[in-house]
């Protein structure tokens, strides 16, 4: 992709869709404020079959991370196991024996939400909070725990490879506003206020077909372009999630700002952003029943002061 845009072009879009102060100077939710009681009731009405589809990758050492940005796959260790019980290490307990385990993992190494404190531009995060507030103990503002009881709404699925008639998009292929509109029209859905839009590129399908993750984590990728970011803001959706590591097309549309959509959506619009969602099962189910809207339940783990969180997002149809 040619990188013709300048930083000023990105910032003009970002400022046009800036939501700082829209919900008050202390707001830490951003566009998740669009999810209200009516959104939840409407979402619940979409459950007709009682089918639950997980959109999470397994959290294990087969994940996509390769060390880029210091991220590794989850490391699962046992604190107590059957061997401990067998050799008498738990004989101080009456009757029972047990197993316990622990996980070390970067919070953004698999299926994850970005918190609004995840990205800064010019020293500032969403709603004008300064980057210095985030320190070695975490963040006192815009932490992911603010979403703990908020992410229940209507989900809308846009399967771009199916729309194009291909198995997956190639790295570097952009998805723009016109294509999102055409895809939504084709499957009979209209994304709107308070929805979360799930956009499939097929990147995970490609990795599985190749038998390796390759440069999936941190490399070139298909994804949303700046017109798509504007489209999402104009629809007043609560959030967007994709099956790529960074949500936006790589290489970026400009060489002057790394991940410019993060500046538009996270820093300025305050939009919920999800990455590394496994949308393959959802793709198959939607192709089968031709229903591309559903109840979507996807709260983060409420790690206090965290700038992102793993989750198990559920599409309920």
Give me the architecture of the 7-70+106-316 domain, per CATH: 3-Layer(bba) Sandwich (3.50)
Residue 2: band (very low, low, confident or very high) from pLDDT cuts 50, 70, 90: low
Where in the chain does DSSP place strands (E)? Answer: 52-54, 75-80, 100-104, 112-114, 152-159, 174-175, 196-200, 223-224, 239-242, 272-275, 293-297, 308-310, 314-316
Domain ranges of the chain: 7-70+106-316, 76-105
Is the per-residue pLDDT at 105 higher than 80?
Answer: yes
Half-sphere exposure of 90 (CA within 13 A, CB side): 16
Tens digits of per-residue pLDDT, 244-298? Answer: 999 999 999 999 999 999 999 999 999 999 999 999 999 999 999 999 999 999 9
Q: What's the pLDDT band for 101 if we cut at 50, 70, 90?
A: very high
Q: Which pLDDT belongs to residue 234?
A: 98
Both tokens assigned to 314: 């559920």
Read off the pLDDT band of 4 (50, 70, 90).
confident
pLDDT digits (tens, 9 = 90+) for 46-72: 999 999 999 999 999 999 999 999 999
| Mean of pLDDT over the chain | 97
Q: What confidence tier does 1 reach under pLDDT thresholds 50, 70, 90?
A: low
What pTM value is reported for the model? Answer: 0.97
For 227, left (φ over 0), alpha (ψ -120 to 50), or beta?
alpha
Percent of the chain surpassing pLDDT 90: 99
What is the band of 227 on the pLDDT scale with cuts at 50, 70, 90?
Answer: very high
Per-residue pLDDT at 3: 67
Determine the average pLDDT of the residues in 199-224: 98
The answer to whether 274 and 296 are in contact (CB under 8 A) is no
The answer on pLDDT for 10 being more than 80 is yes
pLDDT at 239: 98
pLDDT of res. 223: 98
4-8, 134-138, 170-174, 309-313: the lowest-pLDDT one: 4-8
Q: Distance (Å, rounded) from C-alpha 19 to C-alpha 233?
A: 10
């Amino acid at each position: 992709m040619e990188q013709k845009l300048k930083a000023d072009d990105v910032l003009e879009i970002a400022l046009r869709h800036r939501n700082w102060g829209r919900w008050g100077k202390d707001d830490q939710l951003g566009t998740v404020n669009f999810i209200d009681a009516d959104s939840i009731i409407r979402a619940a009405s979409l459950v007709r079959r009682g089918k639950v589809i997980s959109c999470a990758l397994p959290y294990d050492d087969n994940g996509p991370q390769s060390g880029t940005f210091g991220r590794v796959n989850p490391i699962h260790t046992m604190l107590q196991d059957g061997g401990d019980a067998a050799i008498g290490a738990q004989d101080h307990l009456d009757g029972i024996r047990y197993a316990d385990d622990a996980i070390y993992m970067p919070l953004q190494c698999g299926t994850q939400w970005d918190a609004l404190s995840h990205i800064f531009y010019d020293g500032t995060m969403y709603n004008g909070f300064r980057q210095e507030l985030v320190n070695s103990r975490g963040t006192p503002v815009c932490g992911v725990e603010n979403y703990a009881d908020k992410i229940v709404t209507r989900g809308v699925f846009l399967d771009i490879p199916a729309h194009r008639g291909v198995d997956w998009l190639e790295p570097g292929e952009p998805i723009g506003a016109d294509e999102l509109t055409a895809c939504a029209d084709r499957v009979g859905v209209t994304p709107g206020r308070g929805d979360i839009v799930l956009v499939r590129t097929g990147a995970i399908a490609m990795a599985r077909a190749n038998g390796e993750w390759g440069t999936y984590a941190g490399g070139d990728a298909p994804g949303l372009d700046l017109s798509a970011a504007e489209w999402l803001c104009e629809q007043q959706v609560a959030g967007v999630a994709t099956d790529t590591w960074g949500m936006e097309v790589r290489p970026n549309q400009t060489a002057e700002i790394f991940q410019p959509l993060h500046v538009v959506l996270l820093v300025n619009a305050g939009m919920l952003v999800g990455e590394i969602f496994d949308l393959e099962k959802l793709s198959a189910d939607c192709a089968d029943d031709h229903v591309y809207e559903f109840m979507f339940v996807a709260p983060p783990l409420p790690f206090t002061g965290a700038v992102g969180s793993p989750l198990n997002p559920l599409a309920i149809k």
